[in-house]
């Protein structure tokens, strides 16, 4: 950064009484998330390379499992903090405030669920269950789903995206989905609804409170269908603002929903026996990419708001 | 030796001690008093440069007042008719200049908003033209960036009105 920009930074701190370091961090939030993701990928690659030389897979599985769980928790906590910062940047009567409030609550519920599950399992979410085979994999997938893509977080996210779409309508950047898009989404929603009904009617469905929890967890499928519809509707505003920070923000949510849907279907395919449980790492990668995209989305929004209000950050 | 020192001092005083332009204008208008009036009068009477400057100021003031008189006085019909094409031409030139200024400002704004809102401001400018661009882009930036951040980017008073209308 130039000397002038540094001087302006100091003046900004004196005048506003805020930390220039914190503002600079917020102005480059996405960069830090990418650094984190790159470091995690490097650590994973290094672990795999060391396994290739030692030829002993058991420690590697534990290492990768803990690294993945740690990344999931870190990304979800970062997402919550960044979404909270975005929400605070909107005034009381602004249309996007509601959207960011609901998105923040969704991120908070997801982060809380993941932190609790991680602490209970010692950062080895579902690892033992996975190691025991395909039957246990069902339980692991269900546990992971309920912790990460739990229905509460998805429902709140859907509410947030609906509020955002309403604001997009006010700003004149929304259009109706095409007939092809609607038809594809209807098929997908029918599949999701079918999954929901199948789980509720399955012979293994429990009665009482466990059955209720099972039913609530099963509502993840119709909610995912709804989120996919919302993601398709968000595509238009994202296309119009594609190369801007705001476009990247909502594009991040579209990517996150897509990865969550893929990982959810992967979990279903594994539990139904369509995919060997040994390929569960593909599902894990899907969850990790979804977590990264979920965290990047508010990071871009925060960058845009902070850089707009603090011109000295635009050069950095 | 003493004489040469006195001469040098006088020359230095002459070069550095001139009354300011404002003081000369006030002196001509008779608005100075007290010791400043005395020193300025003495200086102007002894300084050729200030006499030249005073004459120049005087002629400018006379020309300005003549123009003002001409503008204020109701012109005869023949002269008014003669002035009309000139006035109309000036108005057209002013209108063109204003429109060009508005377009340049809109283009600059669209470029400034591009890192935040992508190509959308530019396409709005293409569709709406510079007149309808500002309220629309203000509303867009206000919705997605927040009102305060948008105001920091679009700091024009006419947007403040348009933006507040768009928000309500």
- ipTM associated with this complex: 0.74
Question: Nearest Cβ partner of B118 from A171, A247, A309?
Answer: A247
With beta carbons under 8 A apart, name residues in chain A contacting B113. 244
Q: Give the total residue count for chain B.
A: 168
The alpha carbon of A173 is separated from its chain's Cα centroid by a whole number of angstroms, namely 24
Which has more pLDDT, B64 or B51?
B51
Instruction: Name, in order, each residue with C-beta under 8 angstroms of A253's C-beta and a sequence gap of 6 or more.
Output: A157, A161, A231, A234, A293, A294, A297
A201: number of Cβ within 10 Å: 8
In 3-state terms, what secondary structure has residue B31?
coil
CB pair distance less than 8 Å for B118 and A90? no
User: How would DSSP label each residue in A206-237?
Assistant: PPHHHHHHHHHHHTHHHHHHHHHHHHHHHHHH
pLDDT given at position A156: 92
pLDDT digit string, tens, across residues B52-63: 988 988 888 888
In 3-state terms, what secondary structure has residue B168?
coil
With beta carbons under 8 A apart, name residues in chain A contacting B164. none
> Which residue ranges of chain A lie beneath pLDDT 50?
1-14, 128-142, 145, 147
With beta carbons under 8 A apart, name residues in chain B contacting A167. 143-144
What the block records as the tokens of A55 is 């030829």
Distance CA B28, CA B41 (A): 10
Owner of token pair 């025991």: A132
Residues A2 and A316 sit within 8 Å (Cβ to Cβ):
no
Q: In B17-117, where does DSSP find H-type helix? A: 21-29, 34-46, 48-72, 77-117
What is the distance in angstroms between the Cα of A312 and the nearest Cα belonging to chain B? 12
What is the distance in angstroms between the Cα of A114 and the nearest Cα belonging to chain B? 30
pLDDT digit string, tens, across residues B15-38: 567 888 888 888 888 888 888 888
Question: Nearest Cβ partner of A89 from B140, B142, B149?
Answer: B149
pLDDT given at position A101: 95
pLDDT given at position A170: 83
pLDDT digit string, tens, across residues B70-106: 666 666 777 777 777 777 777 777 888 888 888 888 8
CB pair distance less than 8 Å for B116 and A170? no
Distance CA A91, CA B39 (A): 63
pTM here? 0.69
pLDDT given at position A7: 46
Residues A105 and A78 sit within 8 Å (Cβ to Cβ):
no
Instruction: Name, in order, each residue with C-beta under 8 angstroms of A10's C-beta and a sequence gap of 6 or more.
Output: A20
pLDDT given at position B125: 86
Helix/strand/coil (H, E, C) string of A126-157? CHHHHHCCHHHHHHHHHHHHHHHCCHHHHHHH
What the block records as the tokens of A31 is 């960069």
Q: In angstroms, what is the C-alpha Rg of chain A?
A: 21
| Contact with chain A for residue B118, Cβ under 8 A | yes
| Contact with chain A for residue B144, Cβ under 8 A | yes
| Contact with chain A for residue B145, Cβ under 8 A | yes
What is the distance in angstroms between the Cα of A259 and the nearest Cα belonging to chain B? 25
CB pair distance less than 8 Å for A90 and B119? no
pLDDT given at position A24: 84
CB pair distance less than 8 Å for A308 and B136? no
């Amino acid at each position: 950064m130039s000397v002038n920009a540094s001087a302006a930074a100091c003046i900004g701190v004196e005048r506003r009484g805020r930390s220039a370091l914190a503002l600079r961090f917020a102005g480059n939030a996405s960069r830090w998330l990418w650094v984190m993701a790159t470091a995690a990928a490097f650590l994973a690659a290094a672990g795999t390379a060391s396994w290739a030389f030692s030829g002993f897979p058991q420690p590697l599985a534990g290492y990768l499992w803990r690294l993945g769980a740690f990344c999931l928790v870190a990304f979800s906590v970062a997402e919550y903090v960044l979404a909270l910062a975005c929400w605070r940047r909107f005034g009381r009567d602004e249309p996007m405030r509601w959207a960011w409030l609901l998105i923040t609550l969704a991120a908070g519920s997801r982060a809380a669920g993941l932190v609790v599950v991680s602490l209970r399992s010692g950062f080895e979410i579902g690892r033992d269950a996975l190691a025991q085979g395909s039957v246990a994999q069902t339980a692991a997938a269900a546990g992971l789903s309920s912790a990460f893509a739990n229905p509460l977080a998805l429902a709140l996210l859907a509410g947030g995206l609906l509020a955002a779409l309403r604001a997009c309508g006010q700003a004149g950047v929304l259009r109706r989905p095409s007939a092809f898009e609607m038809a594809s989404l209807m098929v997908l929603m029918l599949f999701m609804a079918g999954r929901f009904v199948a789980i509720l009617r399955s012979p293994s469905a429990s009665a009482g409170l466990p059955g209720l929890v099972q039913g609530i967890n099963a509502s993840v499928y119709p909610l995912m269908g709804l989120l996919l519809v919302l993601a398709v509707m968000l595509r238009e505003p994202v296309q119009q603002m594609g190369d801007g920070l705001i476009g990247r923000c909502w594009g991040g949510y579209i990517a996150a929903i897509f990865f969550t849907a893929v990982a959810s279907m992967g979990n279903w395919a594994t539990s139904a026996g369509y995919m060997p449980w040994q390929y569960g790492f593909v599902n894990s990668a899907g969850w990790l990419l979804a977590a990264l995209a979920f965290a990047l989305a508010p990071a871009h929004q925060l960058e845009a708001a902070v850089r707009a209000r603090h011109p000295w950050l635009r050069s950095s | 030796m003493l004489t040469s020192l006195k001469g040098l001092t006088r020359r230095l005083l002459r070069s550095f001690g001139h009354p300011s332009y404002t003081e000369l204008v006030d002196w001509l208008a008779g608005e100075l008093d007290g010791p400043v009036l005395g020193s300025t009068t003495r200086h102007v009477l002894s300084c050729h440069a200030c006499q030249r400057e005073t004459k120049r100021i005087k002629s400018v003031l006379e020309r300005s007042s003549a123009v003002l008189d001409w503008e204020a006085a109701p012109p005869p019909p023949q002269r008014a008719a003669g002035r009309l094409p000139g006035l109309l031409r000036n108005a057209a030139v002013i209108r063109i200049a204003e429109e060009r200024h508005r377009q340049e400002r809109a283009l600059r704004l669209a470029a400034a908003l591009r890192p935040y809102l992508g190509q959308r401001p530019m396409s709005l400018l293409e569709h709406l033209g510079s007149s309808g661009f500002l309220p629309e882009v203000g509303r867009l930036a206000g919705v997605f960036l927040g009102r305060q951040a948008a105001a920091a980017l679009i700091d024009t008073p006419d947007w403040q009105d348009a933006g507040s209308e768009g928000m309500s």
